[in-house]
Amino acid sequence: MAGLLKGHRHVAVKIFTNDGQNTDEIVIYKHISQGNKSRLGYRYVRSALDSFELINRGNIKSDNILHLIEDSSILAAFEEAEIAQPSPRRKAVDREIYVSRTLDMPASIGEPILCDFGNAVYGTKINNDDVYPDVYRCPEVMLRLPWSYSADIWNVGAMIWDIFEELISLLGPPPLELIKRGERSAEWFDWNGKWLEPDEDEPDRLPLLPPSSLEDAEENLNGMDKELFLNFIKSMLQWEPEKRKTARELLKDPWLTRSY
């Protein structure tokens, strides 16, 4: 901390409670810090400068994408405002509670930074736990199949679609072979791969949305922009994990590399 004060550097302090998930996140941050810093994606992942632990008698999520603050003047203005007019505070029995102070809007938005690794896992291991927010979960996670890196590709594709503008109605039904392999497939499909609609015995089942397509659903783009964007999304939203493009392949996709 003394070094940071001497260099007048703005940093963020993240405080964890002392449970298993948060301990895992610190381990992941340490693993990231040992990575190859020359690799293209390293600059887009938040790393930890350091960590420490406070021992006490008491006990101490998805997935965030933040934007790098390149305009440091808003941080300096924040400091000056806090010095000139400190935030109101209230004393509780064992702590002080401060009113949050809003940062000014930066002149420009910085690069996206991936953060919050409490649910991160190593891609070299076989995983079959539930991960990701429900609305972004890939088929293999929902069906309780082993998953790996390609699950992230689906997650990003679904998130991009959600930000830009449901999935059987848009993509058609999943392949029967995928359904037969899933441990939880019987919750949503019969043995022939047909969606289980609500009935008298199971009135709480979700009905299928009317059939549609990505082409019909996307209403903000036209011409080549729309074609390239939809091809990009389709390359990630593939039912079968092995058919999804890798992150390296996506970096070369025409929608990202096209010059305007």
For residue 95, is pLDDT > 50? yes
Q: Which domain holds residue 198?
A: 172-212
Identify whether residues 6 and 65 lie together within a single domain: yes
Cβ(190)–Cβ(196) below 8 Å = yes
Q: Is residue 235 part of a domain?
A: yes
Task: List, for residues 120-134, the tens digit of each pLDDT value.
Answer: 777 677 777 777 767
Identify whether residues 203 and 222 lie together within a single domain: no
Q: CA 180 to CA 241: how far, in whole Å?
A: 15
Q: CA 256 to CA 260: how far, in whole Å?
A: 11
Q: Is residue 114 part of a domain?
A: yes
For residue 235, is pLDDT > 90? yes
Identify whether residues 29 and 11 lie together within a single domain: yes
Residue 94: active-site member: no
pLDDT for residue 5: 47
pLDDT for residue 55: 40
More confident residue, 259 or 64: 259
Q: Is residue 44 part of a domain?
A: yes
Confidence of residue 245 (pLDDT cuts 50, 70, 90): very high
Q: Is residue 58 part of a domain?
A: yes
Identify whether residues 151 and 167 lie together within a single domain: yes
Q: CA 145 to CA 129: how far, in whole Å?
A: 9
pLDDT for residue 23: 65
Q: Give the pair of three-digit tokens for residue 11.
A: 């940093």
Q: What percent of the chain has pLDDT over 90?
A: 5
Task: List, for residues 21-35, the tens digit of each pLDDT value.
Answer: 556 777 777 777 787
Cβ(150)–Cβ(123) below 8 Å = no
Q: Give the pair of three-digit tokens for residue 47.
A: 């790393």
Identify whether residues 3 and 44 lie together within a single domain: yes
Q: CA 116 to CA 65: how far, in whole Å?
A: 9
pLDDT for residue 13: 72
Cβ(22)–Cβ(16) below 8 Å = yes
Set 19, 50, 71, 201: catalytic member: 71
19-23, 32-36, 112-116: which is most confident: 32-36
The count of residues in the chain is 260
For residue 1, is pLDDT > 50? no
Identify whether residues 53 and 112 lie together within a single domain: yes
Identify whether residues 127 and 194 lie together within a single domain: no
Q: Is residue 32 part of a domain?
A: yes
pLDDT for residue 254: 92
Task: List, for residues 121-170, the tens digit of each pLDDT value.
Answer: 776 777 777 777 677 788 888 888 888 878 888 888 887 766 555 667 67
Provide Rg for the chain, Cα atoms: 23
Confidence of residue 63 (pLDDT cuts 50, 70, 90): very low
Q: What percent of the chain has pLDDT over 70?
A: 78
Identify whether residues 2 and 114 lie together within a single domain: yes
Identify whether residues 155 and 228 lie together within a single domain: no
pLDDT for residue 56: 35
Q: Is residue 207 part of a domain?
A: yes
Q: Give the pair of three-digit tokens for residue 27.
A: 């381990």
Q: CA 42 to CA 33: how far, in whole Å?
A: 9
Closest CA to 151 of 41, 230, 231, 241: 241
Identify whether residues 21 and 112 lie together within a single domain: yes
Mean pLDDT of 225-246: 90
Identify whether residues 192 and 242 lie together within a single domain: no
Domain count, the chain: 4
Q: Is residue 159 part of a domain?
A: yes
Closest CA to 65 of 142, 149, 166, 163: 163
Identify whether residues 190 and 202 lie together within a single domain: yes
Q: CA 245 to CA 122: how far, in whole Å?
A: 19
pLDDT for residue 8: 66
pLDDT for residue 32: 77
For the chain, strand residue ranges (E) read 64-67, 89-91, 96-98, 112-115
Q: Is residue 257 part of a domain?
A: no
The type of residue at 61 is K
Contacts of 144 (CB under 8 A, 6+ apart): 128, 182, 183, 184
For residue 108, is pLDDT > 90? no
